Structure 1
Amino acid sequence: MSSIEVNQFTYRHGDVELSGYMAQPSRYPRAGILIVPTIAGPTQLMFDRARWLASLGYSAMVCDIYGKGVIEDIREARQLADALRADAEYYRERFRCALAELRIRSRLANNRIAAIGYCMGGEIVLEMARSGEDIALVVSFHGLLATPLPAKRGMIKSRILVCHGRADPFVPPKQVRTFMDEMDIAGADYHVHIYSGVLHGFTDPASNAKALEAVRYNMSADRQSKAAMLSMFDEIFETGKTPDQY
């Protein structure tokens, strides 16, 4: 296994300064992966996942959401998120800036780029796909599926993987059906993996310590969703590897 290089830096979206965290293998990467965090912003868990992906040969960048680091107060996080979502095009543009930064720093072309997101980050990567961003794959883990700007026919260029907990109260069955209908109308190439009895936040072991009853870690769903993501990476980026590291 090659060594891992870690770099922290700043980048900009207009007049907003954002922080980035990049983990890369010392050898040429298989692909570049943008990691979009939860509504709380870039936590240590996201940095750990970037290093894990780098250990598998990918250049992984954790992007920023608000330019304020980690938001500990969920009420403040929701206020910041609502303000950002208020302008859908501005919302999408914030993460185009992150993708541009990943492309520059990873030295990879569009067809060697994927974007993965958790919770609000899952919503964001799906917005990237809906806007026609030229990237190979987006992966949403317990992400929100609704949008104010549904995809138009032929607009989506990315393949899509959605990993969803069947018991997630933030994304009820009607929202899942509406999303799948939207993808069908758009002609998207998408997979939806649904884990029975699983709540929101199933990839984060710290979920069990949170007061919200809707948020719980699930070891099996975490493992299976990671395996599904790595399998898609292998298929799209032709790495020839199996998802045997978790």
Structure 2
Amino acid sequence: MKARRVARGTFGRIEAGGALYVAAMTALAAVAAWPIYASITYLVLVGGCVAAAAVLAVRAHRSCWRGGITAAAAAAVALVLGLVVAVPVYRVGPVRGLTQFLAGLFTAWKDLVTVELPVGEYRNLLVPALVVFLAGPLAALLLSWRRTRSFVAAVPVALAIQWFGLGFGPDAPARPVRLGGLAVAAPREAVLGGLGLLLCAGWLAWRARAERTEALHRAAQASGVRLTRVRGTAALRSAALAWLMVGVAAAVALLATPLVASGLQRDVL
């Protein structure tokens, strides 16, 4: 148990790769959600949430915090950011600010699809963005740093962060563009979705390779046998599989993302 806890608290190649992956996915998610808010306050909120999530993730990983401690710390940070940026108390007062913030955790999601976009800083509608860009990167980082098979759960979490911009964004995608004989109904959404899927596929492939390399190095250190790099059929198979994953990801993004985007309807009051 002690060895496992020490391994969890270390930072190395696996952690660096996971951090870069989550940072890239979060950046795509921020771009995807920009049409919802289109305000400087939104950018400030996203920056504050991502920075806080990174600090919390590093602290939780190094200290091997339990889930309850991490959740409590994240809730405290969310309250501070909520009352300073999302529903600033210096504008509405502490009591009203706290009330609107707590209500926004449950009702602002529904309100986002009934208010004309962009919503800017209207009422408490920044609260969903706070939740997404604080809890999402925090969970994705901690999952991506796990040394067990559960690290793959970081992928759906990262995709969920990006889906926020698609699910609550405008229901009228950009003008279709034609790529050869294929008409892309929602080019912006397709590009963002494609980049997200490519990042996920690339990170999963890299993570599997990094784990194999670490395992070989540990075995070599334990046995004293010197490792030699061999390039052959296995390397070709890995490269072919990686390119296949890239092709599938691009095809899914071009075909599925516009369909999902065009199927979402807003009911503006």
TM-score, normalising length from structure 1?
0.32
Structure with more of its chain in strand, by fraction = 1
Q: Which has the higher contact order (CA 8 A, sep 6+)?
A: 2
TM-score, normalising length from structure 2?
0.30
Structure with more of its chain in helix, by fraction = 2
Larger radius of gyration: 2
